[in-house]
């Protein structure tokens, strides 16, 4: 029998309310007003009118926006995207939207998460063949997002390398930006899953790691656990004895509560997988030192292996929407979704429970809580409050990314590039500046 999610009451955050008295679905923060003209456009075009799902409960309309984000429903189609862009940028911009759909349509979107210094950049270079230091970064406040398009086995992929979670004061901003990316690109691309780059095998589970793996689980939901891949790296830097010793740590990691939930979820859900980068097919073991593929000696073979993994795991993903989209569709505020709840409370005070198709944050009873580790970071107030970005600003920043990537894929086809991503690729450098102002009916600039 499938367990039912507990009923909780949503409320607004109060600095005077003890943590223990907050509900599981924590808060719905007050949202600043969006300009009325844009607000009307969003109501008409993003699924907030009477023709869409009823965003009401007990006859009362839910408050469901972050500065204009379309929360009450995710009836978010290409046609509505085109109308929003047209109304905001002028009728000629319809050509831009059609161009983006033509060259970006069907692309699989994969978010890459994990702390810096764990091998993400190196991994993405092998996946895409790109020089990630040139023209491929979207700046959002103090955070940076690497934008990495690739053609793997004749299929288009877009990898978005996100900042890690755990900095506390930046976590909410990161959460909003990832949502904006999903909202801006969602009508055109297919959300395929998440790569969680764990790092070297001797990496111990930290506060930041625990927060990230729980965020990934509540962002995707149990239906999409099978599309989450945890990647270990840097095996080729170990000795034979080091591989034997560190493999014990990997086995310990896989038995941890949060990883066990991901790998072996309850019910009929299929779990995620580990991929040990540097081993053939990502399959390693304590006695497989001789099989490790050296990055220095065999970089091309390593690239082929990681690309093969992407093809095996993501080439035929279903069109299932992540849990966060379904929560938002039901009228939940973005900052009250389960993924946001993960970021709001230290992991030592919570657990993740699976109820049917949902991953839910639950507070531990006081008697079961453990002492917070010393490395648990404390949020520090900003010296100067950061001006909050509107959803429309964030949306069009990400749509600018879509324009650039669409042109990149167009140029790849024009150059008849090698599907293995090893040669013939036009560079991303300079595309951002040349395309940022492109909203006319003219063809975009050639590479």
Torsion of CA 338, 340, 343, 344, to 10 degrees: -90
**Which of 38-47, 77-86, 159-168, 221-230 has the largest mean confidence?**
221-230
Rounded mean pLDDT, 178-205: 92
Q: Name residues whose C-beta falls within 8 Å of residue 333's C-beta, 6 or more positions apart in sequence.
A: 28, 29, 31, 62, 63, 64, 65, 66, 71
Q: Do the Cβ atoms of 363 and 24 come closer than 8 Å?
A: yes
Rounded mean pLDDT, 277-302: 96
pLDDT at 416: 55
Q: Do the Cβ atoms of 244 and 213 come closer than 8 Å?
A: no
For the stretch 390-442, pLDDT in tens is 777 888 888 888 988 998 899 888 875 455 544 445 665 555 455 555 655 55
pLDDT at 85: 75
**Which of 54-68, 79-93, 417-431 has the largest mean confidence?**
79-93
State the CATH number of the domain containing residue 157.
Answer: 3.40.50.300
Q: Which residues face 150 on adjacent strands? A: 157
Which residue has better confidence, 51 or 4?
4
pLDDT category at 186 given cuts 50, 70, 90 is confident
Is 445 among the domain residues? no
Is 308 among the domain residues? yes
Torsion of CA 127, 97, 192, 151, to 10 degrees: -30
Is 119 among the domain residues? yes
Is 430 among the domain residues? no
Which residue has better confidence, 111 or 165?
111
Is 1 among the domain residues? no
Is 177 among the domain residues? yes
pLDDT category at 105 given cuts 50, 70, 90 is very high
pLDDT at 157: 96
pLDDT at 68: 42
pLDDT category at 101 given cuts 50, 70, 90 is very high
Rounded mean pLDDT, 285-298: 95
CB count within 10 Å of CB 315 equals 14
- Across the beta sheet with 143-152, the strand order is 137-140, 143-152, 155-161, 108-113, 190-199, 228-232, 273-276
Whether residue 28 is predicted with pLDDT greater than 70 in this model: the reply is no
pLDDT category at 58 given cuts 50, 70, 90 is very low
Rounded mean pLDDT, 294-302: 95
Is 216 among the domain residues? yes
- In the chain, % helix, strand, coil (3-state, to 5) comes to 40, 15, 45
Torsion of CA 209, 213, 215, 217, to 10 degrees: 180
pLDDT category at 96 given cuts 50, 70, 90 is confident
pLDDT at 439: 57
Domain residues for the domain of 117 are 45-80+106-322
DSSP letter for each residue of 152-213 = ETTEEEEEEEPPPS--STTHHHHHHHHHHHHHHHTTTSEEEEEEEEEESTTPPP-HHHHHHH
- The chain-wide mean pLDDT, for the chain, equals 76
Instruction: Count up the domains in the chain and report the number.
Output: 1
Q: Which residue has the tokens 């990149």?
A: 408
Whether residue 275 is predicted with pLDDT greater than 70 in this model: the reply is yes
Q: How far apart are CA 199 and CA 251, in angstroms?
A: 15
Which residue has better confidence, 17 or 109?
109
Q: Do the Cβ atoms of 114 and 197 come closer than 8 Å?
A: yes
pLDDT at 135: 44
Rounded mean pLDDT, 279-306: 96
Which residue has better confidence, 164 or 300?
300
pLDDT at 381: 46
Q: How far apart are CA 105 and CA 314, in angstroms?
A: 16
For the stretch 120-173, pLDDT in tens is 989 999 998 877 654 466 665 556 888 899 999 999 999 999 987 875 558 888
Is 361 among the domain residues? no
Q: Do the Cβ atoms of 359 and 352 come closer than 8 Å?
A: yes
pLDDT category at 318 given cuts 50, 70, 90 is confident
């Amino acid at each position: 029998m499938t367990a039912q999610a507990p009923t909780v009451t949503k409320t607004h955050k109060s600095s005077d309310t003890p943590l223990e008295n907050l509900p599981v679905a924590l808060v719905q923060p007050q949202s600043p007003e969006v300009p009325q003209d844009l607000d009307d456009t969003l109501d008409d075009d993003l699924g907030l009118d009477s023709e869409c799902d009823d965003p009401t409960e007990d006859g009362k309309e839910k408050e469901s926006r972050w500065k204009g984000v379309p929360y009450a429903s995710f009836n978010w189609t290409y046609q509505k995207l085109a109308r929003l862009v047209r109304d905001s940028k002028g009728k000629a911009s319809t050509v831009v939207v059609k161009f983006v759909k033509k060259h970006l349509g069907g692309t699989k979107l994969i978010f890459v998460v994990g702390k810096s210094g764990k091998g993400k950049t190196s991994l993405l270079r092998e996946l895409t063949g790109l020089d990630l230091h040139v023209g491929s970064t979207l700046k959002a406040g103090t955070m940076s997002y690497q934008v990495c398009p690739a053609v793997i086995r004749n299929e288009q992929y877009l990898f978005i390398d996100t900042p890690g979670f755990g900095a506390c004061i930046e976590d909410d901003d990161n959460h909003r930006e990832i949502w904006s990316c999903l909202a801006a690109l969602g009508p055109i691309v297919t959300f395929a899953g998440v790569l969680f780059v764990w790092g070297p095998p001797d990496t111990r589970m930290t506060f930041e790691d625990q927060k990230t793996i729980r965020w990934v689980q509540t962002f995707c939901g149990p239906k999409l656990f099978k599309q989450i891949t945890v990647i270990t790296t840097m095996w080729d830097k170990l000795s034979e004895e080091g591989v034997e010793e560190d493999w014990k740590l990997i086995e310990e990691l896989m038995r941890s509560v949060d990883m066990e939930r991901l790998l072996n979820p309850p019910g009929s859900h299929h779990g995620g997988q580990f991929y040990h980068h540097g081993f053939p097919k990502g399959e390693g073991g304590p006695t497989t030192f001789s099989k490790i593929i050296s990055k220095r000696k065999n970089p091309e073979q390593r690239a082929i292996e990681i690309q093969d993994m992407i093809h095996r795991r993501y080439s035929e993903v279903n069109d299932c929407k992540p849990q966060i989209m379904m929560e938002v569709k039901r009228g939940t505020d973005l900052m009250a979704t389960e993924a946001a709840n993960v970021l709001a409370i230290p992991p030592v005070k919570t657990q993740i429970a699976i109820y049917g198709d949902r991953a839910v944050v639950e507070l531990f009873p006081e008697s079961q809580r453990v002492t917070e580790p010393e490395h648990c970071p404390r949020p520090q107030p900003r010296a100067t409050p950061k001006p909050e970005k509107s959803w429309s600003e964030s949306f069009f920043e990400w749509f600018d990314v879509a324009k650039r990537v669409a042109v990149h894929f167009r140029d790849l086809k024009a150059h008849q590039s090698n599907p293995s991503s090893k040669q013939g690729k036009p560079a991303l450098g300079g595309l951002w500046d040349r395309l940022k102002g492109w909203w006319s009916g003219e063809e975009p600039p050639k590479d």
